[in-house]
Structure 1
């Protein structure tokens, strides 16, 4: 039978190396198996967080991944379509202390095979470049405009004042790659910083801790201080996760929220991974939180049609009237913590968009 674990000692008194060992074992051997792409995704994400935040991981804690590392050449040869996951895991294992030369061999093979050149998007090309440059190869040396295209995308704040989670996650990952995961100044322009603020405001209004945590990390990697309110809420969410142990624990869970919230804690220098499994299969469940008011705000604005205005001061009272007390608090907090909230709202309201039919009629 599955059970929610209750630790007999305060988590802060558990040694960090023990917490990390239990976590690595859980994801390497208990939840999924090595031929599953989701196994690759989960383990790549965990190891990346441990490596880029400088966690000291005992070599014995990495033992559950020794078999993967020993066979990664064969996996790369048979599953070249998964090369970014495979490279990420192998390189992080080496940088955490396991092995030495396999990662460079894999990078050389991937570069010479032209795997990065067939990527569909600039974001994937940027990830491939960042991975291979960790071992001294640039697979896209002839693409001098890649970073310029990435910066052009993130330098358009209007994109990020509208609900679009895919675009928002691409924004954060571009900052991760440009900053080499916090190792250098990404040199963001003022519009890109505004993009992060607008995307963070939407994430907070939606009470999306996963996305907001990534945005706070991106801001820190860009040398900025995220709003205290945002980070304190994420820290509260991180502390509230429950971990269900046992063979019936579901793996379609909130593990990614758990990872990213703890990633932000690590970047801040706070204690991390407070709730970890005891070397077994586990399910990660985020704390129940009050639904954000984003949907109610959007529905009201859409519903009032031509009465909609981009003037925040004109619309503020009407929007507060359609929200419950907690929704009002969240909206007020969003207003107080956004850069240029009035500009953000003017874009978000979409009050002056010309309907397609009217535009065609005018053109005719």
Structure 2
């Protein structure tokens, strides 16, 4: 067994017995890559692909992809000395009409226009868009606090104030983030709300904010789940949020991001290739974002101009599913204890999932507390017959 038991059936991980998950390049990979420069030509090719080749502007995914890319390069300063804004001249010029026809997408449109101006296009259009958003009271139509905070931030960039009567927005966000136990359960929507609230409150790392220590606990639990799922996308966001709150993420998490990103591949495809519509662009963007925030080389993959597809190394990533199946069965048998869980793990997990679970266990001192919250959420719950 890889676990010893102490009082109250709490496991003490024997870290010397753990077999680490393979991280290409080793645990020092992040720091060894930090000295390598990003490739301006590759970043330019990626921006051109997003702006002109992957999708058309009438596709909401075009808006989402380009808003994400531009937000990353603008907030990190990666585009300094480049002319990425030129790829968005046509969209920028037509943004007022686009907003008039698609007001439901105002946050994407305003984000792209504002970042394009920050990347070299003439200012003024984005301010006019923000003024129209305020005049039409579009932000007041948002039912999500996260979207309301994003709208407030996008308009404030251009000196336009919205949602002035919603004085409790920040307090509600902080209360939501200050519940570590709630983030010890897989919930992707809540996890991404958590990281994005921190992005907006810190103005993407430009401002320091004082948040309750419980928020760090929530981020750590979220990171442990992301690591268990090998979710490089969410894990990168957690590490970025921790850094912007003045905390250093676990080295194993950041090394895993660096190693996994190194194995991404970028392909050039033909316009009628449907593969470009379903790829791994988002984890590629966010992992590179993390690298930039961590001081490592970002967007260093070679990329040629044209229609690009981003592919992550294929793996059978099923650790969380396998553990959940064991927990479900133990709950149905009314035998849910940490001790019984660990008795089932050797036979219940695939070899790869055992390595992942063991690596997650040694990545953070909060793992023991997380594991109890993760497992004991099922106690007293009727999960039905098998």
Which of 261-270 and 103-112 deviates more?
Answer: 103-112
- Cα separation, partners in 2 of 1:351 and 1:178, compared to 1, 3 Å: closer
RMSD: 2.1
**2:197 corresponds to 1:174:** yes
2:154 to 124, 131, 136: 131
Q: 2:304 aligns with which of 271, 278, 295?
A: 278
Match of 2:250 in 1: 227
How many residues align? The count is 345
Q: Which residue in the other structure is 1:361 paired with? A: none
**In structure 1, distance between residues paired with 2:50 and 2:229:** 29
- The reply to whether residue 203 of structure 1 matches residue 226 of structure 2 is yes
| Aligned-partner SS, 2:63 | helix
| SS of aligned partner of 2:298 | coil
Report the CA distance between 1:276 and its aligned residue: 4.5
For the residue of structure 2 that corresponds to 1:243, the secondary structure is strand
Shift of 1:314: 6.0
Shift of 1:17: 2.1
Moved more, 280-289 or 39-48: 280-289
Q: Please give the alpha-carbon distance, in whole angstroms, between the structure 1 residues aligned to 2:259 and 2:316.
A: 13
CA contact (8 A) 1:204 1:292 kept: no
Give the Cα–Cα distance (whole angstroms) in 1 for the partners of residues 43 and 374 of structure 2: 42
Query: Match for residue 184 of structure 1?
Result: 207
Q: Which residue of 2 aligns with 1:85?
A: 108
Deviates more, 1:27-36 or 1:59-68: 59-68
Q: Deviations over 1:256-291 (max 9, x none)?
A: 010001000111121111224311001110012352
Counterparts of 2:153 and 2:190, CA distance in 1: 20
Counterpart of 1:186 in 2: which secondary structure? coil
- The alignment's TM-score, normalised by the length of structure 2, stands at 0.84
Q: Secondary structure at the match of 1:166?
A: helix
Residue 350 of structure 2 corresponds to residue 327 of structure 1: no
CA offsets per residue over residues 212-248 of structure 1, 9 Å max, x none?
Answer: 1111111111111011100111111111111111212
Cα distance, 1:201 vs. partner?
A: 0.4
Q: Does the 8 A contact of 1:203 with 1:209 survive in 2?
A: yes
1:237 to 253, 260, 279: 260
Give the whole-Å Cα distance in 2 for the aligned partners of 1:236 and 1:272. Answer: 13
Q: 1:352 to 1:22 in 2, by over 3 A?
A: closer
SS of equivalent to 2:310: strand
Alignment-derived partner of residue 307 in structure 1: 335
* Counterpart-to-counterpart distance in 2, 1:98 and 1:264: 26
Look up the match of 1:341: 367
| Structure 2 unaligned regions, length at least 5 | 1-34
Structure 2 residue 143 is matched with structure 1 residue 120? yes
- Give the corresponding residue for 1:68: 91
Note the C-alpha offset of 1:325: 3.2
Cα distance change on mapping 1:48 and 1:337 into 2, 3 Å: same
Q: 1:207 Cα deviation (Å)?
A: 0.9
Aligned-pair distance for 1:59? Answer: 5.7
Per the alignment, residue 10 of structure 2 pairs with none
Higher relative contact order (CA 8 A, sep 6+): 2
Q: Does the 8 Å contact 1:335/1:341 carry over to 2?
A: yes
Deviation at 1:357, TM superposition (A): 10
With over 3 angstroms needed to count, the CA separation of the structure-2 counterparts of 1:356 and 1:326, relative to structure 1, is closer
Alignment of 1:35-50 (within 5 A): 35-50=58-73
SS at 1:307's partner residue?
coil
Q: Could you tell me how far 1:15 is from its partner in structure 2?
A: 7.0
Shift of 1:57: 4.5
Alignment-derived partner of residue 6 in structure 1: none
- Assess if the C-alpha contact under 8 Å between 1:198 and 1:338 holds in 2: no
Q: Deviations over 1:7-61 (max 9, x none)?
A: xxxxx99972211211111011101011111100000000000000012345643
* CA distance in structure 2 between the aligned counterparts of 1:15 and 1:163, rounded to whole angstroms: 34
